[in-house]
C-alpha cells in the first residue's frame, strides 16, 4: 500500500524512482538466474531438477515432453519478475534506512559501541550475500589453508546450520538497534523547525506545528519500512529450516534426494471414471512438486535477493543523502 501511494504520486519523482529501480532489479534478477551454482549456491538447479523429475512421468503420459524446458524457463522468469517486484517494494525502505543510519551515527558520536552495532546492522545484507557465495564461504571453511595443508573447519551440514544461526543473529541485531534509527527519524522535526526559522520573513506557529506533526504521524510508515525487510528475512529463514530439511544442530543430517513422483502411485478405484483418475493423477503430481530441494532453492533465492535489494538501495540512499539531497 505504501508503494502504491508512492507510485500514484504525480509530483516529487517517487513514480520515476519506482519504475527505475523496478527495471534495474529485473535486469539484475535475470543476471542472477544465469550464475552457476559453483559461484552462487542458491540451490535452484537441484531444486528445478527435483521438480522436473517428479513432473516428467505425468507429462510423458500426456505426450507433453516438450513442456519440461518450458516449465524450468517459466519458473526462472517467474522468480525474476518476483525479484523485480520485491526490489520495488524494498527501494524506499532502503533509502529510508540509509537516512536513519546516517542520522543515528551522528547522534551517537560519543557511543562507539552503539556506532559499531549500527555499522554491523547496516552491513548485515552484505554478510548474507557472502554466506551464499560458495568460493569465499563454504569452500573456504571446508578447505581452510593452514601451513600449506588444507583442513576442514565445518562440514557441509554444519555450515548450513551455522548459516541459519547467522541469519537469525543478524535479524536480531537489526531489531536491537530499531530504537536509535526511529529516534534519528524523529529528530528530523527539530531540524526542520530550525531550517524554517532560518528562512526570511514571518513564520506562523501553525506552520511550525504542521511540520512537526508530519514527522510524528509518518513514524508509523518509517517503522514499517524498517521492520518489513527484517521480518521477511527472518520468516524466510525459519521456512528454509522447516521446509528445506535443515537442522539447528551442527551434527550430520540425512542427504535429501529428489523424491519420486507420486502420480504413478495414486490408488485408483475400479468405479472411478476417467475425469476422476486424471484429477487424482494431477493431485499426486502436484503433491510431489514442492520437494525440500525445490523449496531450498526458492527460499534461499528470496533471502539472498532480499539482502541484495536492501544493500543496493541503502548504498544508493547513502550517496543520495550525502551528495544529492543538499542540491
pLDDT in tens, 274-308: 777 777 766 665 656 778 888 899 999 999 999 99
DSSP 134: G
| Angstrom distance (rounded) from CA 225 to CA 222 | 5
- Domain of residue 49 covers 2-256+291-324
pLDDT of residue 262: 41
CA distance 123 to 119: 6
Q: Where are the beta strands (DSSP E) in 78-143?
A: none
Cell of 133: 557465495
Residue 47 maps to a domain = yes
**Residue 202 domain-assigned (yes or no):** yes
Q: In this predicted structure, what is the pLDDT of residue 126?
A: 94
Q: What's the confidence (pLDDT) of residue 21?
A: 92
**Contact between residue 17 and residue 91 where contact means Cβ atoms under 8 Å apart:** yes
CA quadruple 249, 250, 255, 256: dihedral sign: positive
- What is the dihedral sign for C-alpha 126, 242, 93, 217? negative
Residue entry with cell 514571518: 202
Tally DSSP H helices, then E strands, for the chain. 14, 2
pLDDT of res. 314: 94
Query: Does residue 266 form part of some domain?
Result: no
* DSSP class of 263: G
Q: pTM of this prediction?
A: 0.84
pLDDT score of 127: 94
Residue 78 sits at the vertex; the CA angle it makes with 72 and 80, to the nearest 5 degrees, is 110
- Residues 138 and 198: their CA atoms lie apart, in Å, by 56
**SS3 (DSSP) at 144:** strand
Per the structure, the count of domains in the chain is: 1
In a domain, 169, yes or no: yes
Residue numbers in the chain where pLDDT is lower than 50: 259-266, 271
In a domain, 230, yes or no: yes
Residue 271 forms part of a structural domain: no
Strands annotated E in the chain = 144-146, 149-151
Residue pair 85/301 in contact (Cβ under 8 Å)? The answer is no
What residues does 151 pair with on adjacent strands?
Answer: 144
CB 292 within 8 A of CB 100: no
- Residues shown for the chain: 327
Does 112 map to a domain?
yes
Residue 263 domain-assigned? no
Amino acid at each position: 500500500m505504501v508503494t502504491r501511494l508512492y507510485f500514484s504520486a504525480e509530483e516529487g519523482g517517487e513514480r520515476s524512482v519506482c519504475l527505475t529501480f523496478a527495471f534495474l532489479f529485473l535486469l539484475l534478477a535475470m543476471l542472477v538466474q544465469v550464475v552457476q551454482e559453483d559461484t552462487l549456491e542458491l540451490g535452484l538447479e537441484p531444486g528445478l531438477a527435483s521438480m522436473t523429475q517428479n513432473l516428467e512421468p505425468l507429462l510423458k503420459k500426456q505426450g507433453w515432453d516438450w513442456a519440461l524446458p518450458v516449465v524450468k524457463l517459466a519458473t526462472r522468469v517467474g522468480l525474476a519478475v518476483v525479484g523485480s517486484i520485491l526490489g520495488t517494494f524494498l527501494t524506499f525502505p532502503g533509502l529510508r534506512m540509509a537516512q536513519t543510519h546516517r542520522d543515528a551515527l551522528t547522534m551517537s558520536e560519543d557511543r562507539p559501541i552503539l556506532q559499531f552495532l549500527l555499522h554491523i546492522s547496516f552491513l548485515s545484507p552484505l554478510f548474507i550475500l557472502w554466506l551464499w557465495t560458495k568460493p569465499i564461504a563454504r569452500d573456504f571453511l571446508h578447505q581452510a589453508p593452514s601451513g600449506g595443508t588444507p583442513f576442514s573447519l565445518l562440514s557441509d551440514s554444519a555450515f548450513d546450520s551455522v548459516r541459519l544461526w547467522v541469519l537469525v543473529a543478524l535479524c536480531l541485531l537489526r531489531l536491537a538497534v530499531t530504537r536509535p534509527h526511529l529516534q534519528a527519524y524523529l529528530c528530523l522535526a527539530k531540524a526542520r523547525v530550525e531550517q524554517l526559522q532560518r528562512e526570511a520573513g514571518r513564520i506562523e506557529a501553525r506552520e511550525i506545528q504542521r511540520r512537526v506533526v508530519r514527522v510524528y504521524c509518518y513514524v508509523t510508515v518509517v517503522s514499517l519500512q524498517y521492520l518489513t525487510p527484517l521480518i521477511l528475512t527472518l520468516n524466510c529463514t525459519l521456512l528454509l529450516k522447516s521446509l528445506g530439511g535443515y537442522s539447528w544442530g551442527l551434527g550430520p543430517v540425512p542427504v535429501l534426494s529428489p523424491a519420486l513422483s507420486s502420480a504413478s502411485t495414486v490408488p485408483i478405484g475400479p468405479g472411478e471414471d476417467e475425469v476422476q483418475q486424471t484429477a487424482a493423477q494431477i493431485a499426486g503430481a502436484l503433491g510431489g512438486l514442492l520437494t525440500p530441494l525445490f523449496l531450498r532453492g526458492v527460499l534461499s533465492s528470496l533471502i539472498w535477493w532480499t539482502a541484495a535489494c536492501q544493500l543496493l538501495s541503502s548504498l544508493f540512499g547513502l550517496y543520495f543523502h550525502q551528495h544529492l539531497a543538499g542540491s
